[in-house]
Amino acid sequence: MKSMLASLLVLAVALAAPAAEPPATLLKADGSLDVEKVVRHFENLYRSDTSVALMRLTVVRPRRERTLRMKSWTQGEDRALIQILDPPREKGTATLKVEKNLWNYLPRIRRTIRIPPSMMLSPWMGSDFTNDDLVRESSYSEDYDYELAGKSTEPEGWLVRFKAKPGVVGLWSRFDLVVSLDGQLPLVSNWYNRKGKLSRTLTWDLVRVLDKKHLPTRMTLVPVDRKEQGYKTTMVYEAIDFDVELPPGTFSLSRLERQH
């Protein structure tokens, strides 16, 4: 699967596409999930067009909770710009992603900083998402072997198993994804690290209609080893527009450094 936050950023785009086309069934004639179709479905959706979204990121920590409101612009899978709107102390702080590069703009000191590779596994904006989540470019079929493992009962849906192909460098050895019975919506995914240990869980819920599409508007990421301590990050989409015309240069450093 695409990295999680990248998926997160383009999730709406991804999920919206089936509705844009005639709702092609993702099931086989015998009623089971056509896993090839589902995977291609998700993959191609990342290459779909643009989106502009308003989101709320809530980071829960043992002794505090913090909510950021942000606006994002995305184009395909390679370009994204996320800007913090609130709280005031961080207003204007922005992250620009172009392919594998990541920059943070800090309005207080009017500086742009490129995130070095050594910091890719560090938290993004203090959340449970890592910088790596924003930039990783991997796709289901390129990096993972997958198979339909059958039906899942909790939650109810289809269980698809993804296993990293030999030689693929990354954090994850495998992940399990549960998709809805019609194959259209992701429900939950469990991510296993290179030692095969369950490391984090990503849940999608609160399905709403945004820009005429049915979308799970909330994603919750829980790092398993810190679950007990109460670590959690949720991202809620408040509004989203698809296929918006974005001015050229939206994803440029000069635009990043301009006051938005």
Pick from 14, 16, 33, 59 the residue near other proteins by CB under 8 A: 59
Question: Which is closer to other proteins, CB of 28 or CB of 111?
Answer: 111
CB–CB of 55/237 below 8 Å?
Answer: yes
52 scored as a contact of other proteins (CB under 8 A): no
Q: How far is the CB of 62 from other proteins (least distance, A)?
A: 8
Question: Which is closer to other proteins, CB of 37 or CB of 66?
Answer: 66
- Within positions 146 to 175, which residues make up the interface with other proteins, using CB under 8 A? none
SS3 for 40-67, per residue?
Answer: HHHHHHHCCCEEEEEEEEEEEECCEEEE
Close Cβ partners of 89 (under 8 Å, ≥ 6 residues apart): none
Please name the residue that has the structure tokens 């939950």.
Answer: 188
Pick from 24, 28, 44, 108 the residue near other proteins by CB under 8 A: 108
| Region of residue 70 (left: phi > 0; alpha: psi -120 to 50; beta: else) | beta
Burial class (CB in 10 A: 0-12, 13-18, 19+), 140: buried
109 scored as a contact of other proteins (CB under 8 A): yes
- Stretches 27-35, 118-126, 150-158, 200-208: which one binds other proteins (CB under 8 A)? 118-126
63 scored as a contact of other proteins (CB under 8 A): yes
87 scored as a contact of other proteins (CB under 8 A): yes
64 scored as a contact of other proteins (CB under 8 A): yes
Pick from 112, 141, 250, 252 the residue near other proteins by CB under 8 A: 112
The CA–CA distances, whole Å, from 32 to 142, 182, 238 equal 24, 9, 33
Question: Which is closer to other proteins, CB of 126 or CB of 170?
Answer: 126
119 scored as a contact of other proteins (CB under 8 A): yes
Pick from 4, 16, 26, 125 the residue near other proteins by CB under 8 A: 125
Strands (E), 130-212: 144-152, 157-164, 172-179, 186-193, 198-210
Question: Which token pair is 9?
Answer: 């950023």
Close Cβ partners of 75 (under 8 Å, ≥ 6 residues apart): 49, 50, 246, 250, 251
CB–CB of 216/207 below 8 Å?
Answer: yes
Q: How far is the CB of 64 from other proteins (least distance, A)?
A: 6
Give the total of residues touching other proteins (CB under 8 A).
Answer: 27
The residues that touch other proteins, with contacts defined as CB under 8 A, are: 59, 61-64, 66, 87, 89-90, 93, 103-104, 106, 108-109, 111-116, 118-119, 122-123, 125-126
